[in-house]
Structure 1
Amino acid sequence: MASVVVIATTAVPDHVRGALSRWMVEPVAGVYVGTMSARVRDELWSVVSDSVGDGAAVSVHPDDNEQGFSMRTAGERRRVVMDFDGLRLIQMSALEESAPNTAPTPEGW
């Protein structure tokens, strides 16, 4: 049975966007929505996750669990999906620390 699938992308190569637009509509830049079977969804996700390069992607689709949906991610971003006893939540990772301030500090500070 077909179900609605949402895939959001960030900084992915053009060929990934082209592959997604063959099966889904893009109502907002980088967000794709479509209705497809589980087999097509899994094959499409396989192509996307193998090709994100330096970008990132997340897929959300209906599932038979407590939340009613499942998420998959590919690529590195600050938001990380964590599993807490079957409940999938988003954890924000810390910002990367910038180089330490090398400017001399005034005396007395």
Structure 2
Amino acid sequence: MKKLLIHTTGVISWSYLDPKTGQTMGIEVDSLPPSEILNVENAIGVDLNKPIKLNFEKEPIEYEIRVWDNENNVNATYKNLDDVKEKGKMIYEILATWNEGRVSYVVALDIQ
């Protein structure tokens, strides 16, 4: 199975309970849009006819997959990689949600 290098991007928001104070603490981070972080020309070849599994250290409650173009527009949104219709080099964002918050990951793929 192929392992992909995935970058975090976009807005990350996370909250946690501080054990010392008993208060809920929050963290928010913002970054550049996906097309300014990755070069789509360096996309990794992926064959959707072979199984692809997203591995998270802790499984999210839900996630969605967004397909970005080079002008920073979202062209499509999916709930599963099996549903992706686009072929060729694209930037994919995986927006995962946990009870504690949301994290955005991005990878350039060449879907075949």
Q: Which has the higher helix share?
A: 1
TM-score by length of 2: 0.25
Structure exhibiting the larger radius of gyration computed from Cα positions: 1
TM-score by length of 1: 0.26
Structure having greater relative contact order (Cα 8 Å, sep ≥ 6): 2
